[in-house]
Amino acid sequence: MKVKLYNGYGWKSLGPGRAPLRCPKKTGFIVLLTSVFLLTTITYISEYLLKTAVFPDTLYKKVLNQIHSYYVVPEFLSASGNQNILAPDGVQNSPTQIPIKTTDIPIYHHVAHPSNYHFILNEPDKCSQWDPFLVFMVPVAPHDVAARNAIRSTWGNESSVQGKAVLTLFLVGLSGGAEAQQQLKEESRQHRDLLQSDFVDSYFNLTIKTMVIMDWLATRCPQATYAMKVDSDMFINPENLMSLLLSPNTPRENYITGYLMLDRPVVRDKSSKWYVAEELYPEQKYPTYLQGMGYVFSNDLPEKIVEISKEVKPFNIEDAYVGACLKQLGVAPLSPPDPSQFRDYMWQYNREDFLKVITTILRSPQQLIDIWKDVKSPIKQIKLE
Ligand SMILES: *[C@@H]1O[C@H](CO)[C@@H](O)[C@H](O)[C@H]1NC(C)=O
Ligand SMILES: *[C@@H]1O[C@H](CO)[C@@H](O)[C@H](O)[C@H]1NC(C)=O
């Protein structure tokens, strides 16, 4: 310190020759400077002591904050749809995450993953026997035998289209009651086209249904090239679909197409059947997805979707949820070459239109039977309401 003061204030410049004369003054100056230095030091130290006196309070706050953020982490993770979350079996898929107890994760993180469900009715060898190029997977309510029969007698009965094997299977959840279950068993024995899984079959649970379909395709039907998830109230023109799939421009991997839903807002009106709670899906818009009535995909996707779904928090809108999984996978849903082939409603019947479409929504099983008859008949045009 002293050396620094000496050099810094240029005492050397005073010169040794004049030193004896100025000696008392010099000593006084040194004393003064030392006092100032000491005073400064004392002030500094006392201030420091004062600071340390408040430090425990700061430390206390910091500790509290850390405890608090530990507890809000699970909430934050659950609030952001694309964060890694726990796998259904409680195994963490990212070692860099802050450890979270499984008990902190609400049940909906697990509920849609197909590993939670088991088949009661199954056709485990159907695909290895049939070797289909294309599989129609139809989610349907257990009691809706009319819809299944209409499909069985129309587009679901097309076993070969343009020389390619086609298979149609139905998926139901749990039916209510022993009698209904007995009827399903009988129907399964008769047609060998029913799959039944042990989740509660309801509109709210359609995401589970779709994920079980994906799981079945991934595990029981990997040999198929394409699959289509199609609702039970749909018209399908298998010829047109096959032409699309056999086109050299249609990819056989990471491909999914249908009626494109762009920039769709999440419905927050509690009275709507599409209502989604903010806790389930906090963002205001969905990623691009394909409308659930009927979307076609290359059959490499089901396995990828089932796997990535461990990281994507489920919500009750099945098609938008598949969209969220695709986004996480980095697979972009594509618009079909002719978007008018995937229609929602056609307001009046026109045979020419049905000859051109791939799929459109119908009003009843009987309408499917009538329209199919007309579309397949050589010329005659029927009149429908
Ligand atoms: C399916 O088509 C075949 C002819 O290819 C026909 O014999 C059979 O009755 C049809 N099945 C149904 C359920 O309509
Ligand atoms: C959805 O399915 C699960 C599993 O079977 C069941 O626990 C739950 O009650 C179902 N939810 C609704 C709303 O049907």
CA distance 101 to 120: 32
Q: Is 259 in the pocket of ligand 2 (CB under 6 A)?
A: no
Burial of 318 (0-12, 13-18, 19+ CB in 10 A): buried
Q: Is 347 in the pocket of ligand 2 (CB under 6 A)?
A: no
Task: Give a yes or no: residue 79 inside a domain.
Answer: no
Whole-number Å distance, alpha carbon 212 to ligand 2 midpoint, is: 14
- The segments of the chain whose pLDDT lies below 50 read 1-23, 48-109, 385
What is the 3 state secondary structure string of 245-296?
Answer: HHCCCCCCCCCEECCEECCCECCCCCCCCCCCCCCCCCCCECCCEECCCEEE
One domain for residues 135 and 48: no
Task: Give a yes or no: residue 100 inside a domain.
Answer: no
Task: Give a yes or no: residue 101 inside a domain.
Answer: no
CA distance 133 to 298: 10
One domain for residues 191 and 337: yes
Which residue among 35, 54, 73 closes a domain?
Answer: 54
- Phi and psi torsions of 294, nearest 5°: -175, 110
Whole-number Å distance, alpha carbon 157 to ligand 1 midpoint, is: 6
Task: Give a yes or no: residue 44 inside a domain.
Answer: yes
- Atom 2 in ligand 1: which residue has the minimum CA distance? 157
**pLDDT at residue 148 in the model:** 98
CA distance 88 to 211: 13
Contact 203, 317 (CB under 8 A): no
The residue type at 184: L
Which atom of ligand 1 sits closest to the CA of residue 152?
A: 13
Which atom of ligand 1 sits closest to the CA of residue 153?
A: 14
One domain for residues 132 and 43: no
One domain for residues 44 and 141: no
Expressed as residue numbers, the domain containing 29 is 21-54
- Atom 9 in ligand 1: which residue has the minimum CA distance? 153
CA distance 322 to 83: 16
Which atom of ligand 2 sits closest to the CA of residue 198?
A: 5
Whole-number Å distance, alpha carbon 201 to ligand 2 midpoint, is: 7
173 is written with which tokens?
Answer: 């959840």
pTM, two decimal places: 0.73
Give the list of residues 6+ apart from residue 33 with CB closer than 8 angstroms, or none.
5
Task: Give a yes or no: residue 74 inside a domain.
Answer: no
Task: Give a yes or no: residue 75 inside a domain.
Answer: no
- Atom 3 in ligand 1: which residue has the minimum CA distance? 157
10 Å Cβ neighbour count for 294? 25
**pLDDT at residue 347 in the model:** 84
One domain for residues 175 and 27: no
One domain for residues 30 and 163: no
Number of structural domains, the chain?
2
Q: Is 157 in the pocket of ligand 2 (CB under 6 A)?
A: no
10 Å Cβ neighbour count for 339? 12
Whole-number Å distance, alpha carbon 71 to ligand 1 midpoint, is: 61
253 is written with which tokens?
Answer: 């991997």
- Atom 14 in ligand 1: which residue has the minimum CA distance? 153
- Continuous segment of H or E residues that includes residue 381: none
**pLDDT at residue 38 in the model:** 67
CA distance 72 to 69: 5
One domain for residues 140 and 257: yes
One domain for residues 26 and 155: no
One domain for residues 25 and 154: no
Which atom of ligand 1 sits closest to the CA of residue 154?
A: 14
Q: What is the pLDDT of residues 65-77, one digit of tens each?
A: 333 332 222 222 2
Tell me the CATH number at 342: 3.90.550.10
CA distance 142 to 184: 7
Task: Give a yes or no: residue 71 inside a domain.
Answer: no
One domain for residues 311 and 202: yes
